[in-house]
A and B are shown apart, each in its own frame.
Chain A
Amino acid sequence: MCLGIPGKVIEVTGEGVTRTGRVDFDGIVKDVNLAYVPEVQVGDYTIVHVGFAIAQLDEAAAMETLQLLQQLDAVDTELDPDAALAAEERIAEGSGP
């Protein structure tokens, strides 16, 4: 359920329930209803489901999530290269421990 894809708003027209954005999904541009995300402006990213923006994408939160994982990845590789390698091999084999 709920295929929602992040896209970048490149243009906004209208207001209220017919506020519409041209949203760019990596080269695909589609008209999206922005009525439910009045705070979203040109340049913002938004999650789009069936032609409607349902949430502004919190870019800071996204980056924080990734950075945390990247730091852990760096630590893992540094602290215990063997474990990191073992985990990598497990992934390569496609199975759990």
Chain B
Amino acid sequence: MTISMDAWSCPLRLRDHPNIVLGHGGGGKLSSELIEHLFLPTFDSDELSELADAAVLAPAEGRLAVSTDSFVVHPLRFPGGDIGELAVNGTVNDLAMRGAVPAHLTAGFILEEGLALEELAGIATSMAAAAKRAGVVIVSADTKVVERGHGDGVYINTTGIGYVPTGVDIHPRRAQPGDAVVLSGTIGDHGMAIMSVRESLGFEADIASDTAPLNGLVADLLAAEIDVHVLRDPTRGGVAAAVNEIAGTAGVGIALDEQAIPIRPVVKAACELLGMDPLHVANEGKLVAIVSSDAAETTVDILRRSTAGRDAAVVGEVVSSHPGMVIARTPFGTSRVVDTMVGEQLPRIC
């Protein structure tokens, strides 16, 4: 988005400051200008436009769900998206994973002194588009500025509010032996898209982040009255982290079928090159759904009707053996344990 500076009539013309300066976080005229001329028109939200200290919202039906997340991705822009899109979709998805219908979002920005306004405008535009796509409104926002050298450009925190319809109970403890594990699509796209533009590790590839809102997929499942037991979006730590958490919380074992896990050949190749296991690579537009086995096929069918779920597949089952442990069956019929990594997965040469 190119900011049109013409409408900015403040005497301390922002056009003289193409970058963020410390004053933008000072609460004075520079701050107001930033909010009024960059954020408000971009986010186009009634509540935000009131410019009150808080947004007062009428509660909707159902139980209130809240989720918060912070986004510190680097680089800010990567194949398939940017930090703004991630910030909106990430929190929308956290709400959706409890079956909540996401409604409102807050956005807190920590801006680094020196960040180009154009860049910030681009991020805000992405957020607005993502919010619209997900059907949420950004109702409260805040900006602070930190000195150059801190802040990696921009950090964003989003908190989301949603409402869980009556009768919907989606929680990791509901996983039970016999349940099917369904994945909504290909794994590893986001993590390898980021890796492809990382300094000294990068490569050319047609890999884009899969960042996307998942609340539509969840709504489809609930509308079809699928009794969804668990939903999890496999972000940091990948599918491995997500299913390990579920197995641990529910005290069940999970057995994955390696060959059933959807992955694009080019993403697989990137993992081979860097010696990384796709199960530990981050995803930003996929969900793991645990449903009773007789609902598995219908679940996959419903997911596949949407673009976001076009590659959905049953990838495993919940078992009573090895409680708390996740295993993966190899094409050779043997099984290997899939544990969460201690820290970040790193490329290896060994």
A/B touching: CB–CB < 8 A: yes
Residue of A nearest to B274 (CB): A3
Establish whether residues A3 and B265, one from each chain, have CB atoms under 8 Å apart when the complex forms.
no
Instruction: Provide a sorted-by-A list of 21 A–B residue pairs whose CB atoms are within 8 angstroms.
Output: A2-B349, A2-B350, A5-B272, A5-B273, A25-B269, A25-B272, A26-B265, A27-B205, A27-B265, A27-B266, A27-B269, A28-B204, A28-B270, A29-B203, A29-B205, A30-B203, A30-B273, A49-B349, A50-B349, A90-B333, A91-B333
B196 nearest in chain A by CB position:
A28
Q: B2 on the interface (CB 8 Å rule)?
A: no
* Distance to closest chain A CB from B189 (angstroms): 13
* B348/A3 in contact, CB under 8 A: yes
* A93 contacts chain B at the CB level, 8 A cutoff: yes
A68 to B332, CA, bound (A): 20
A61 contacts the other chain (CB 8 A): no
Residues in chain B near residue A29, CB distance under 8 A = 203-205
Which residues of chain B come closer than 8 Å to A2, judged between CB atoms?
A: 349-350
Which residues from B are CB-within-8-Å of A27? 205-206, 265-266, 269
Docked complex Cα distance between A30 and B206 (Å): 13
CB distance A30 to B266 under 8 Å? no
How many contacts A-B (CB < 8 Å)? 49
Q: Which secondary structure characterizes the binding site on chain A?
A: mixed
Please tell me which one of the listed residues B265, B270, B332 contacts residue A94 in the complex, with CB atoms under 8 A apart: B332
Q: How many residues of A contact B (CB 8 A)?
A: 17
| A1 vs B350: C-alpha distance when bound (angstroms) | 3
**Minimum distance in angstroms from A47 CB to a CB of chain B:** 12
Q: Give A90 to B334 CA distance when docked, in angstroms.
A: 10
Return the chain B residue nearest A25 by Cβ. Answer: B269
Q: Does B26 contact A (CB under 8 A)?
A: no
Q: Contacts of B330 on A, CB cut-off 8 Å?
A: 94
The reply on B80 being an interface residue by CB < 8 A is no
Q: Assess whether B304 is interfacial by the CB under 8 Å rule.
A: no
In the complex, the answer to whether B334 meets A28 with C-beta atoms within 8 Å is no
CB distance from B117 to the nearest CB of A (A): 35
Q: Is A79 on the interface with B (CB-CB < 8 A)?
A: no
In the complex the two chains form, is A94's CB within 8 Å of B204's CB? no
When distances are taken between beta carbons in the complex, the residues of chain B under 8 Å from A49 are: 349
In the complex, the chain A residue whose C-beta lies closest to that of B331 is A91
Q: B349 and A25: CB pair below 8 A?
A: no
Chain A residues with CB below 8 A from B335, complex form: 94
* Additional pairs, 10, CB under 8 Å, beyond known A25-B273, A29-B205, A30-B204: A2-B350, A3-B349, A5-B272, A27-B205, A27-B206, A28-B266, A49-B349, A90-B333, A93-B333, A94-B329
A92 proximal to B (CB < 8 A): yes
CB distance from B44 to the nearest CB of A (A): 39
Closest 9 CB pairs of A and B: A27-B266, A26-B269, A94-B333, A29-B204, A94-B334, A91-B333, A30-B203, A92-B333, A3-B275
Q: Does B268 contact A (CB under 8 A)?
A: yes
In Å, the complex CA distance between A23 and B206 comes to 15
Cα distance A50–B270 in the bound complex, in angstroms: 14
Contacts of B329 in A (CB 8 A): 94
